[in-house]
Amino acid sequence: MSATNEAGVPHGQKRKREEKDVSNKKKVQSDKPPQIYKNLQLAESLKDAPKKPVYKNLQIAESLKAQSKAKNQLLGKSQKAEKPKFKNLQIAESQKTVANGAQDDEGPNVESQKQEYRDNRPQNPLAARQKNLLEVRQSLPIWSQAANIRNALLENHVLILAGETGSGKSTQVPQFLHTSAWCTGRIAVTQPRRVAAVSLARRVAEEMGTPLGKSPQALVGYNVRFDDNVGKNNKVKFLTEGMLLQEMLRDPALVEYSCVVVDEVHERSVNVDLLLGFLRGLVTGTSEAAKKRKGKPLKVVVMSATADTEKLKDFFSEGFGEPRAEDNIPAVNDTTSLNKDDASVEKPQVPSASSSGKISTCFVEGRMYPVQTEYLSEPTRDFSEAALLQIFQIHRKEPMPGDVLVFLTGGDVITNLQQAIEDMIPNVITRDSGLPKLLVLPLYAALSQAQQQAIFSPAPPNTRKVILATNIAETSITVPGVRFVIDSGKAKIKQFRNRLGLDSLLVKDISKSSAIQRQGRAGREAAGKCIRLYTKPNFEALEKDAVPEILRCDLSSAVLTMKARGVQDVMSFPLLTRPSREAMERALLLLLQLDALNPEDGNISDLGRKIARLPLTPAHGRTIVAAADPEMGCLLPVIDIVACFNSENIFVEIKDQDANDEAREARNKLSRRQGDHLTLLSAVQAYASERTDRKQWAKQHLISHRSMQNVMDVRKQLRAQCQQAKLITKEELAAADDDLDTVSESTGNNILKCFLRGFPANVARLVPDGSYRTIQGHMAVAIHPSSVLYSRKLEAILYNEFVYTNRTYARSVSAIQMNWLEEVYAAPT
């Protein structure tokens, strides 16, 4: 047992403590990047690489691109030939669509802002930067709409704003609004991703000429998981959707805010759908929580990249007591209703009489270069082969510079295609010796930061980059330098099947809007070209929009989210898209099984409230609560395991060639005969008890250091939250050390019993033919080959997930005893 003396403070912890004392700017420079950067998959590079380009390279905000736009404009008139074409969103009379009669035509506070930096001392670098940025801001398409937007919210409480990438909406709208008279509280701006929230906040702070975050002068802050950088005087706060939902637990009326801007609504995450439901109740004053605002108005701005604002408008109109437009039979000549589902007709949509002046809509054109689109004349059976052909055709025919971005389905397809291209390169390039070189780069989430980073480094001279990417390049990462896009038209899509209680992850056709999004990636820096590896009729036949996540996932989390925020009748909670009754009922049933709801009235129980506060699925939350029961007494180890399930796979794939026997043996030592749960635990504990060089340790054990760092972050957060929820005392937590202890047989059993409590449906038993069948539903289940229990025959198994790929697999599996079931499910809590 190694003592935790002063000198023995684990590396990471000590550093973290030091970090707390330094300012934000220093944070970025410190040898260990702050939490958020670690999650950018770019952390490693941050240490050495200059900071700016990193942020720039990420898909962040329209505004960052504005810089390059402005640069293009400065480059001179010669660029006029390639003048960005406004995409089909462009609406000549868009101003009319906002509230009637713009009063100040001049843009937002130009004079007052000018005055502001005149007043600042000239040597103030923030003010100087602000001044420079003002010119860039004024060149954004949204700038001319500033007065309209301000006036719209003066009169109405809801603004629906459609603006494509490049319009500047994410950065400018909060700045247009924060000086309005009604804006006495804060403006929240939600984002689906953490990176976006952080980088937008940074940018807006710069544009406003103030520091970011906690400083008393700071007007802009952000709050994302693992990184709270909000100051008392912040007027604008960027946060992730999940964070705002979490805030609603303690403040369901959002009283600290005067305005909530919901950005990227078209992505339709479950969280955004829930958020819109809550906001509708608040803005219309129809929900219980709305009373707590005591008459203080709330303004809601809903921003989307697609022009389809009708659905959103109908949704809010309904909240104001108007019937949804669908309920009306459209008159034959009523073009506004007829056009609703016609993607090709995107005309300005003047607020119709039915909106009764409560909802404004506004369109802002995006800024983008034209993209020429080609289709295959015949459908292809093998999109990899078709892509291979097109890549070399582009390389032969198209001028440099111009990198190629290929949208594919998954890591394996990407690896194979990369191999195929590299095999062909010698033939093609030597045969035609005038050709530039080709550099093939894979891009998908499971790659290490360093590998992902490669797409951002400039190619060597006379080299064309070919990036083979998954959907990650559609929303999360913007690849610079791309002029050619090849679109397979496919993506892997996860779908939860309620009846079977399993997730399937299958290759499916993408939606039209997804195809358009992919196409747009070719026109960000110059005119480009998009080759679709399917026919034009195929494209026309695609669904208009992707199926929203809320129709594709297990609803137990969403339902608990509603219940915990005061929604009693979840069936009538306003949702943009209503899931099936069956899916809702299944979720309610599971929550009842988990004791999260009272069986008498279906309201949330005390236990349910505890679960709802944790950043986990209800099943994992229930497991944690079970582990805190003194009879079980295994909270800390259960947290370690749950943390693993909430991070990427910690085990690095063992490839026969590169794994040496030593590492393999080291890895094997971590494995536990009881199964994957305790194997994960032993890995976390061994890692945590490593005091000298964790990175080296991870390498030696074929464990992903990055994943493990994330596990440690989640573990820390869960420990703190459990203490807050009084599931563990401060003293107990302080006494916990990371010394390597062997988990006793009985503790091991207790741990598995806790998981049993959280996963009543994920149990299967061995049947006479040697296969496993689930106890609920008698479905055939096979142990996934990645499990330490693969090919073992055990009395019964418990598993963390049930997925369908080629067959139905149980992943993360442990052995249990049938006689535990009675004990676990009979026990009162």
Partner DNA sequence: GAGCACTGC
Q: Are the CB atoms for 680 and 704 separated by under 8 Å?
A: no
Euclidean distance between CA atoms 686 and 774, whole angstroms: 33
Of 89 and 714, nearer to DNA (C-beta) is 714
CB of 172 to DNA, least distance (A): 22
Provide, rounded to whole angstroms, the least separation between the CB of residue 213 and DNA.
Answer: 16
Q: How far is the CB of 330 from DNA (least distance, A)?
A: 35
Residue with tokens 């240490």: 47
Q: Smallest distance from the beta carbon of 445 to DNA, in angstroms?
A: 3
Shortest separation between residue 679's beta carbon and DNA, angstroms: 14
CA-nearest of 643, 589, 652 to 800 is 643
Question: What is the C-alpha to C-alpha distance for residues 517 and 309, in angstroms, rounded to an integer?
Answer: 18
- Give 188's strand partners: 237, 260
Decide whether 130 or 646 has the Cβ nearer to DNA: 646
Q: How far apart are CA 530 and CA 515, in angstroms?
A: 10
Q: Is 489 left (phi over 0), alpha (psi -120 to 50) or beta?
A: left
Of the two residues 375 and 804, which places its CB atom closer to DNA in the complex?
804
Question: What are the Cα distances from residue 479, in Å, to 91, 165, 407, 528?
Answer: 29, 15, 12, 14
Query: What separation in angstroms does the CA of 145 have from each of 162, 174, 176, 357, 362?
Result: 12, 13, 10, 19, 9
- In this structure, what token pair is assigned to residue 388? 């291979």
The least CB distance from residue 72 to DNA, in Å, is: 28
Closest CA relative to residue 191, chosen from 300, 246, 265: 265
Query: Cα 463 to the chain's mean position, in Å?
Result: 33
Q: Measured from the CB of residue 321, what is the shortest distance to DNA in angstroms?
A: 32
Question: Which of 446, 740 has the CB closer to DNA?
Answer: 446
Cβ proximity to DNA, 133 vs 764, nearer residue: 764
Q: Which is nearer to DNA, 97 or 808 (CB)?
A: 808
Residue 659 or 824: the one with the smaller Cβ distance to DNA is: 659
Cβ contact 548:508 at 8 Å: no
Residue (258 or 557) nearer to DNA, CB: 557
Burial 421-449 (b: 16+ CB within 10 A, else e): beeebeeebeeeeebbebbbbbbbebbeb
| Residue 379 vs 411, nearer CB to DNA | 411
Q: Tell me the DSSP string of 161-187.
A: EEE-TTS-HHHHHHHHHTTSTT--SEE
3-state secondary structure of 361: strand
54 versus 98: smaller Cβ distance to DNA: 54
Nearest to DNA of 438, 443 (CB atom): 443
Q: Shortest approach of DNA to residue 763 CB, angstroms?
A: 19
Q: How far is the CB of 342 from DNA (least distance, A)?
A: 28
Of 307 and 597, the one with the shorter C-beta distance to DNA is: 597
Alpha helices in 693-775 (DSSP H): 694-700, 705-724, 730-735, 745-758
Q: How far apart are CA 34 and CA 149, in angstroms?
A: 36
Q: Give the nearest distance from C-beta 508 to DNA in angstroms.
A: 10
Nearer CB in complex with DNA: 117/238: 238
Question: 334 or 412, CB closer to DNA?
Answer: 412
Compute the residue count for the chain.
829
Closer to DNA by CB, 133 or 718: give it. Answer: 718
Report the 10 Å Cβ neighbour count for 215: 17
| Contacts made by residues 814-817, CB under 8 angstroms, sequence distance 24+ | 814/674, 814/675, 814/676, 814/677, 814/678, 814/752, 814/755, 814/789, 815/673, 815/674, 815/675, 815/789, 816/752, 816/756, 816/763
CA distance between the termini of the chain: 35
- Residue closer to DNA (CB basis): 210 or 646: 646
Please list the alpha-helical segments (H only) found in 120-157.
Answer: 125-138, 146-155
Of 611, 561, 566, 612, which Cα lies nearest the Cα of 292? 566
Q: Least distance from C-beta 658 to DNA, angstroms? A: 12
In the complex, minimum distance from the CB of residue 447 to DNA, in angstroms, rounded to a whole number: 8
User: Does residue 603 contact residue 563 with C-beta atoms inside 8 Å?
Assistant: yes
Q: State the minimum distance, in angstroms, from the CB of residue 414 to DNA.
A: 8
Distance CA 562, CA 604 (A): 10
Least separation in angstroms between residue 708's CB and DNA is 16
The two three-digit tokens of residue 20, written as one number: 């707390």
Q: What is the CA radius of gyration of the chain?
A: 28
Q: How far is the CB of 264 from DNA (least distance, A)?
A: 11
State in angstroms the smallest separation of the CB of 193 from DNA. 4
In this structure, what token pair is assigned to residue 131? Answer: 């001044």
Residues making contact with DNA (CB under 7 A): 39, 41, 192-195, 224-225, 240-243, 245-246, 269, 271, 409-412, 444-446, 470-472, 476, 491-494, 505, 557, 614-617, 646, 649, 653, 784-786, 790, 803, 805-807, 809, 811
Please give the structure tokens belonging to residue 756.
């049993």
Q: Which is nearer to DNA, 39 or 171 (CB)?
A: 39
Strands (E), 230-384: 236-240, 257-262, 299-304, 359-364, 371-375
> Using CA atoms, how far apart are residues 461 and 99, in angstroms rounded to an integer?
53
Q: Provide the 10 A C-beta neighbour count for residue 38.
A: 20
CB 153 to DNA: min, Å: 27
